Amino acid sequence: STANAAEDDAPNRYSRTDRTTYSRYSRDANSSGSSIPSNALEKKIEELERELAKERQENARLMKMTQDKDELIGKLKEEIDLLNR
The 3-state DSSP class for residue 75 equals: helix
The model carries a pTM of: 0.51
Q: What is the DSSP string of 12-31?
A: HHS-HHHHHHHHHHHHHHHH
The CA distance from 48 to 42, in Å, is 10
Provide the residue ranges of all domains of the chain, joining segments of one domain with +: 37-84
Q: What tens-digit pLDDT sequence spans the chain (85 residues)?
A: 445 544 455 555 555 555 555 555 555 555 555 677 889 999 999 999 999 999 999 999 999 999 999 999 999 999 999 999 9
Please report, for residues 47, 72, 77, 79, 80, the alpha-carbon distance to residue 84 in angstroms, rounded to integers and kept in the order given: 55, 18, 10, 9, 6
